[in-house]
Structure 1
Amino acid sequence: MSSSDSSSTAYKALPNVPGRDSDSDYDNDDPRSLSYQHGAGLNTNPTRPHFMGAALAGEAGSSRPSFDSGHQTYPSFGDNNSSVYALNPQDVHGTPESEFRDGSQYFGYRDDSFDASRDVPMHPVGSPQYLEEKRAVYAPPRRRSRVKMILFGVLGGVAALIIIVVLAVYFGVVKKNNDKTTTGDSVSNPTGTSSAGGGGSSGTLVVTGGGGSTVTTDNGTTFTYQNSFGGYWYWDPNDPFNNGARAQSWSPALNETFHWGVDKIRGVNIGGWLVTEPFSIPSLYEKYPQAVDEWTLSEAMANDTGSGGLSQLNEHYETFITEEDFAQIAGAGLNFVRIPLPYWAIETRGDEPYNAKVPWTYFLKAIRWARKYGLRINLDLHALPGSQNEWNHSGRMNDVNFLNGPMGIANAQRSLDYIRIIAEFISQDEYTDVVVMFGITNEPEESIFGLDNLQRYYLQAYNNVRLASGTGTGNGPMISYHDGFLPVNQWAGFMPGADRIALDDHPYICFAGQSAAPMSSYNNTPCVAWGSNMNTSMSAFGLTAAGEWSNAVTDCGKWLNGVGEGARYDGSYPGSTAVGTCDTWTDWPAWDDDMKSAIKQFALASMDALQNWFFWTWKIGNSTVTGKVESPAWSYQLGLQNGWMPTDPREAVGMCGNSAPWQPPLAPSATGGSGAGQIPASVSASLPWPPTTISNGGPGTALPTYTPTGTVPTLTAETFSSATGTAKINAGNGWANSQDTAGLMVAIATCSYLDPWVGPGVVPPSPLCSSSARKREAHTEPAPMPVITSPPLR
């Protein structure tokens, strides 16, 4: 894909490089190792990896870990280390996914080489069975005279011209947002020369285009839309909420129904953009060596007024991800984006140094770009007040102050408010077809605050989202719950009858025990480690998706474990023993075809095993020190440009062998059907809110809490005007349900409070409240500052 302004942004596209389309060591002081977790030893001064945390189990296949070596609560093992994927050469697929609907462009092509009507099993991967069938069905054409052929050609050209005109009218005028019936893959591939704000050579406003069309961006620059999958963009400034765009022929257009459990989620995260992380955006953190998370980065930037202060983050938002990225994502055969959003996109309080509210303005751009290219959004609330997991991607590392410690309830109350505010916005008719999934909390560390309190919080969050959606089932987003790093089978039966809930698992193998085995040895690992878990959970819980996964099989990568932490693989991580050099895994310009092919095989196997997934992440920024990406296994874009990611993710179907992926449909409640929303009263009664006891805090009645008397900060929408500028277009008022009238959770004037980030070791104020008590200032008990861990001596 070319761009006329690619040289004007700080984040330049990476150059295309030609390429092709054992045993682990365990350390008894290593909180990610099996021997450690089974009691072989406890590190008295452990250093946690602040990107992912420590592993639940030290073997390939464990989910993204969350064990803090300083705590004595040990999660159970089992499900995520299962190695049964029902690999059976006699098994066949059952009901095919909806993407295999016959289409006018693909003539019933099936990428799984399976004919459901005849129960024909899959051929070996790569076997062109569909060509064999096509040859058998279609007889050779009869000879026609030259005159007849010319006549037919002319008539065909006229017919094609008529079809193009009709389709342009249809998509530009007729097919509006209220068309909610799936029509399958029989779609056109319209072409155009420009988008909103620019007309074609005749001055006519062109509002849609397919592969090869020219797109005009907000700032007037243009690029060529590359999409070979029948996808088309749609943008009409006179109708900015038209949902006619389609990412690919096999993915429902935005104004069509996405059938959960039938249509496959093939997505990618937009990580490092609105929530920064050192490993995703090393250039931001390399400038400020004292920065280890976005809190300290924001403080360092704010103090650096000569460089623009905190507005440097605005420049990052503006250049790291652009409209062209969304176009490339659709052109890569992907149909979803998962976008991490921090709570400070809504507001900050006290001395919280974040770039308040600005991320929201860029999330609104993301909604517009996703709508334009037919992509659906999973909004992921990635960072919560007080930190839900103590790692740098939560905004501030070191301590968990969410559902833990003396401010545990108050921070959870505040988080629930932010969930409610976001839900009210995205449940509006203008946005509900684009932001279709809401991940309410990213990676809460269940091992710290316990499953019971996490489920109480999840139920309350569910109530907040469904209240925002208004009355009736099927309204508002699918609600996605992270599994808290527990085996997915422990969530079976949670909230029976709930209206459209999904389970979010983050399976990574790179943070388990490190191995010197070559990349080619991991070809089948995802199939064995993850496939059975997904099948089981889809039946026992409901929709289950991998919200994050990557191609990494080692923990090599600059600051992957946190600033100054090093890597286990090369022995630079505290307490680790070197297995080999990380250059093998990070020096991607030196990778040969065999290495690229092995990574691609791993990616395809992961996609097939997980079935519904979001790769982490779309883009990793270049290091200013080396001038290149230092964590290549985590960048989908880099893999596409250099040949180790598939250009068509449908290649993955059947990669795990002639296995039996989960068969639809989901339970009716999981899809908004009959019985949805009817949660038994006994379930609600067993999970009351707020919690009666908080880990590292004590009885809930002895802890500071907030009261709903504040003014709710409603999220604002973009401003749209018609092309003539004569009429302002209604973009919603930010609040879907006018009956939702409760105030914002705020401090009680006569009560005392600690700093929200104080840490779990502080005693609550006593007495909490009195008629004459003065509200304690937030700085009375300051939170400890996060620090860089000194690298170990080699």
Structure 2
Amino acid sequence: MAQPNANPHNVDYESLPLNAQGLPPSPQAPYYNPPQLGQHGSPSEVALTDPTVQTRFLGAARYDEPGGYSPRDSFASSHRTGSGNDLNSEYAGSAYALNPLSSRTNPPYRDYGNDGYESDHDQMNAEAARGGRRNYLAEKQSMYGPPKAKSSRKVIILAIIAAIILLALAVGIPLYFAVFKPKSKDAAPEGTVSPESKDVEDPIDVKPVSALVTGGDGSTVTLDDGSTMVYRNRFGGHWYYDENDPYNNGARAQAWTPALNETFNYGVDKMRGVNLGGWLNTEPFIVPALYEKYVNTSTVAVDEWTLSLAMRADTAGGGINQLEEHYKTFITERDFAEIADAGLNYVRIPIGYWAVEVKEGEPFFEKVSWTYFLKAIKWARKYGLRINLDLHAVPGSQNPWNHSGRRGQANFLNGPMGLANAQRTLDIIRVIAEFISQDQYKDVVTMFGIMNEPRGPDVGEEQLSRFYLESYNIIRRASGVGEGKGPIISFHDGFWPLDRWANFLPQADRIAMDAHKYLAFNDDQFDQPMSAFATAPCSAWGAEFNASMGTVGLTGAGEWSNAINDCGLYLNEVDEGARYEGRYRNNGRRVGSCETWTDWTRYSASMKNDIKQFAMASMDAFQNYFFWTWKIGNSSVSGRVQTPAWSYQLGLHNGWMPQDPREADGVCGNIAPWLPPLRPWQTGGAGAGQIPAAVTSSLAWPPPSIINAGAASLLPTYVPTGVIPTLTAPTPTGSSMTARPDPGNGWANPGDTAGYMTEAAGCSYLDPWVGPTGQIPVPLCTAAARRNVLPAPEPTHIL
């Protein structure tokens, strides 16, 4: 196994516990609890208390030379899951009640039909019994029941009634079949290898009901582009879209998921989500065809920065507008409908800061991705999905990996432009928060991940904590405090153990912790088969997430995958091979051929089942999660997906992802479960936002110093005198509106009138991407300008 490296950029992390045979333990084995880090401890200070457990280390950010880069680290951790007991949750349903905690590993009984899903009859009658919903089969029997005997003395009355009934049937029967009657699932899309065929009911070809604005399984829905499709939803969900009432939140993803106009009971209702990675913030391994075009050009595309440069130079090939074609085609409305039909209720959507603005010299495609994020809001609203908006790339980059926009070094809270880049990032967060906090959008965009994967050792624990508090204040100024007022604020753990964040910002209003758990990027790759990892997530991660739910609040896995090694096209970098084959930096430590893992067309039934078991163990360990990622694009060379362990959609179509994510409930045996509810302030209730003054004072913004730069008072900083790049949405244009619905002006809090952070007259600035070795200009500012640039740190309060 990997050992500590003298390189200062290496970071160790909690072990994945292995038994004497070098295999992950079963979920029944005692948890391995790694030593906790002290408040001011560093990862390098962690020492194993059990000499039989070998520590594994982050695939660290190595710098072969100043300005060098590193592929993304590996992150793992420890422990497992619990279940809700609220009678209003999905767990009050009959299928869950038949699975007591003590029996869920036996395997449990589930109230499903022969095809692995709840049968139409059982599902609808169970819904009627527990939720007061209409029993559609009983309704149908009543509709077609034999007529009662007629009385000759009431012929006229009965004739009138008969006429009314005939009229009702003429309208009701098409509506019944178009909206309510459950249908069988669609076949797998063309070009995929389908799971074993099942006995399913043939769909009924029904003409769409005129002016239909909602529908269930089998209904016909008109898409944004004017085409139509048959909506499939095996789980009792329904779509809703009325062009004359475009902000209606009546859609429901599944019967067990609250509709958008209902309360999602966090901590009881589970976030079962998937990322839409590679769409509005590209990554080479997710959309390889975009990058393959430019691997042999003068500007080799290795991240979105260089991809944008290469595209701009390729005017004959479509220029930078090729990105918009990608936005149009990679994720479409049909994906949102399919995600709901997969039993998922949330999407995490990564965007780059260039959705808001760019500075001169930054080649990103400015603001265009925002127009497609607006489409995502519309589609999510239509199919009952909630959105976790993820700011995936910030000015200067928050880590050295390609998904931060530009690989190399982190310039956020690091180096001479680190504070200025953080100021600019706070303004971008502010602009986004003001938009999504508006009434028209707050029930759809319900979570805001303010920054993806800041690499803690590069930015500093104190500095990152201060940034998080300032971000919290900015967002709550935009939205207000209390249940339903603006988004949940999600903080990434910075690659530190979750217990390091215990009791962070006590009584903060609706904050959440986000941890990303991967096994793929270890320097020493696993040589065990997939079956060896069937329940590893239970013992590795479950208890850690349970503990954080109690000490911080809502905690989830914002990213995870089915990969146990780094096999896959461009998974590390465009110009790097796989550790598994000994081709990563030519380290020579070969384990085997990646073909076994990447050629999914040759997966055996047992291989698919092993992957599925790993996926379900991960789901149950995390409880609230977002798989990375929904879709992987085909290689333009091979014509197929070459990183199959990372595609939820591919696994769903080909049998290694659960058709119903609730199948995962109880896989880990519910060891050391966290029991709801969350504390009142964690859901916006009593006490929300009342962070102790001592905490806000100790974490006041800005930090007194910046890593690799020194005192903040001596660094280039911006002033709030610029024009705010407000985000807006187009006015809806329904065909029969009596009044145009208001899309909002992009600014939820009219009292927030400060300008946008920009350069101060009389001061000198470096390139935001200068790196940690850049030299601070001397003098930095004229004496008059300096007095107005950086105020002394003061406690900030929002109440």
Q: TM-score, normalized by length of structure 2?
A: 0.79
User: Is 1:110 the counterpart of 2:112 in the alignment?
Assistant: no
Give unmatched runs, 5+ long, in structure 1: 1-23, 38-53, 87-91, 103-107, 139-148, 171-186, 192-199, 775-794
Equivalent pair of 2:343/2:660 in contact (CA under 8 Å):
yes
> For 1:337, what is the secondary structure of its paired residue?
strand
| Structure 2 residue 267 is the aligned partner of structure 1 residue 261 | yes
Contact 2:11–2:58, Cα closer than 8 Å, also in 1: no
Distance 1:551 1:461 in 2: 32
Residue equivalent to 2:85: 95
Question: How many angstroms apart in 2 are the aligned matches of 1:167 and 1:151?
Answer: 9
Q: Please give the secondary structure, in 1, of the residue aligned with 2:387.
A: strand
Which residue matches 1:477?
Answer: 487
- Correspondent of 1:238 among 222, 244, 263: 244
Alignment pair present for 1:606 and 2:598: no
> Bigger CA drift: 403-412 or 92-101?
92-101
Residue equivalent to 1:617: 629
What is the 5 A alignment of 1:95-244? 95=85, 98-100=88-90, 108-111=93-96, 113-114=98-99, 121-122=103-104, 124-128=106-110, 153-154=145-146, 204-244=210-250
Q: Residues 671-710 of structure 1, C-alpha deviation per residue, up to 9 Å, x if partnerless?
A: 0010000011110100121111100111111100000011
Aligned equivalents of 1:469 and 1:297: distance in 2? Answer: 36
State the match for 1:570 in structure 2: 581
> Partner letter of residue 370 of structure 2?
W
* 1:548-576 Cα deviation digits (max 9, x unpaired): 00000001111111111111100000135
Q: Does 1:747 align with 2:759?
A: yes
- Distance (Å, rounded) in 2 between the aligned partners of 1:155 and 1:632: 57
Deviations 1:153-190 (A, max 9, x none): 257999999799899999xxxxxxxxxxxxxxxx9779
Q: Identify the residue that residue 769 of structure 1 maps to in structure 2.
A: 781
Cα root mean square deviation, aligned? 3.7
Relative distance call for 1:57 and 1:190 in structure 2 (3 A) is: farther
Change (3 A) 1:339 1:304: same
Query: What is the aligned partner in structure 1 of residue 421 from structure 2?
Result: 411
In 1, the alpha carbon distance for the partners of 2:174 and 2:537 equals 44
CA distance in 2 between counterparts of 1:427 and 1:189 reads 37
Verify the 8 A CA contact 1:124 1:657 in the aligned structure 2. no
- Find the aligned partners of 1:698 and 1:498 in 2 and give their Cα distance: 30
Alignment partner of 2:547 out of 516, 536, 560: 536
The amino acid across from 1:410 in the alignment is A
Report the secondary structure of 1:424's partner residue: helix
For the structure 1 residues 530 and 60, does the alpha-carbon distance in structure 2 shift closer, same or farther, using more than 3 Å as the test? farther
Mapped to 2, the partners of 1:469 and 1:150 lie a distance apart of 49
Q: Which residue number corresponds to residue 668 of structure 1? A: 680
The equivalent of 1:282 in structure 2 is 288
Judging changes above 3 Å, is the alpha-carbon distance between structure 1 residues 591 and 167 closer, same or farther for their aligned structure 2 residues? same
Shift in CA distance, 496/100, structure 1 to aligned 2, threshold 3 Å? same
Q: Which moved more, 1:629-638 or 1:559-568?
A: 559-568
Asked if residue 694 in structure 1 is aligned to residue 686 in structure 2, the reply is no
CA gap 1:676/1:770 in 2 versus in 1, 3 angstroms: same
- Give the residue type in structure 1 aligned to 2:347: V
Whether the 8 Å contact between 2:398 and 2:410 is mirrored in structure 1 is: yes
CA deviations over 1:412-437 (Å, ceiling 9, x no partner): 00000000000000000000000000
Unaligned 5+ segments in structure 2 are: 16-42, 67-72, 114-120, 127-140, 149-161, 184-205, 787-799
- Structure 1 residue 509: deviation in Å? 1.0
Tell me if structure 2 keeps the 8 A contact 1:276–1:393.
yes
What corresponds to 1:679 in structure 2?
691
Mapped contact 2:13–2:496 kept (Cα < 8 A): no
Cα distance in 1 for residues equivalent to 2:612 and 2:660: 12
Confirm or deny that 1:308 pairs with 2:341.
Answer: no
Question: Is contact 2:182–2:234 with CA below 8 Å preserved after alignment?
Answer: no
Offset of residue 734 of structure 1: 0.5
Q: Is the 8 A contact 2:525 2:579 kept in 1?
A: yes
SS across alignment from 2:274: strand
Corresponding residue SS for 1:398: coil
Tell me if structure 2 keeps the 8 A contact 1:474–1:673: no
Output the amino acid matched with 1:671: T
1: distance between equivalents of 2:14 and 2:444? 45
Name the CA distance, whole Å, in 2 between partners of 1:469 and 1:164. 48
CA 317–94 in structure 1, closer or farther in 2 if over 3 Å, else same: closer
Equivalent position of 1:581 in the other structure: 593
Distance in 1 of aligned mates of 2:723 and 2:109 = 62
In the TM superposition, what are the counterparts of 1:440-519 in structure 2 within 5 Å?
440-470=450-480, 474-512=484-522, 513-519=524-530
Does 2:393 correspond to 1:401? no
Say if 2:596 is the partner of 1:590.
no
Q: Deviations over 1:751-774 (max 9, x none)?
A: 000000111101111111116999
Question: 2 CA distance for matches of 1:57 and 1:278?
Answer: 37
The amino acid across from 2:557 in the alignment is: A
Does the CA-based 8 Å contact 2:395-2:421 persist in structure 1?
yes
Aligned to 1:559: 570
1:221 CA displacement:
1.4
Mapped partners of 1:307, 1:585: distance in 2: 34
Give SS of 1:742's match: coil
Paired AA for residue 773 in structure 2: G
1:356 offset after TM fit, Å? 0.2
Q: Which moved more, 1:659-668 or 1:751-760?
A: 659-668
Structure 1 residues 760 and 29, CA gap change in structure 2 (3 angstroms):
closer
- 1:734 corresponding residue in structure 2: 746
For residue 279 of structure 2, what is the amino acid of its counterpart?
W
Percent identity over the alignment? 57
Cα 1:93–1:634, aligned 2, differ >3 Å: closer, same or farther?
Answer: closer
Q: For the Cα contact (< 8 Å) 2:214–2:239, is it kept in 1? A: yes
Q: Give the Cα separation in 1 of the matches to 2:13 and 2:657.
A: 35
Deviation at 1:526, TM superposition (A): 0.4
- 2:389 is matched with which residue? 379
Q: 1:545 aligns with which of 556, 561, 567?
A: 556
Equivalent residue number for residue 639 of structure 1? 651
The answer to whether residue 440 in structure 2 is matched with residue 425 in structure 1 is no
Compared CA separation, residues 201 and 554, structure 1 to 2 (3 A): closer
Q: Which deviates the most, 613-622 or 158-167?
A: 158-167
CA shift in 2, pair 1:367/1:57, >3 Å = farther
Return the offset for 1:93.
Answer: 5.8
Q: What is the alpha-carbon distance in structure 1 between the residues aligned to residue 165 and residue 672 of structure 2? A: 44
Aligned to 1:628: 640
Q: Report the CA distance between 1:109 and its aligned residue.
A: 2.7
DSSP-derived class of the 1:729 partner: coil
Aligned residues, how many?
Answer: 680
Within 2, Cα distance between the matches of 1:162 and 1:681?
64
Cα distance, 1:712–1:61 mapped onto 2, change above 3 Å: farther
Preserved contact between residue 12 and residue 57 of structure 2 (Cα < 8 Å): no
Q: Any conservation in 2 of the 1:335–1:376 contact (CA below 8 Å)?
A: yes
Task: Please list the CA deviations of residues 304-339 of structure 1 after superposition, one character each: whole Å capped at 9, or x if unmatched.
Answer: 000111000000000000000000000000000000
Question: Taking structure 1 as the reference length, what is the TM-score of the superposition?
Answer: 0.79
Give 1:100 shift.
2.5
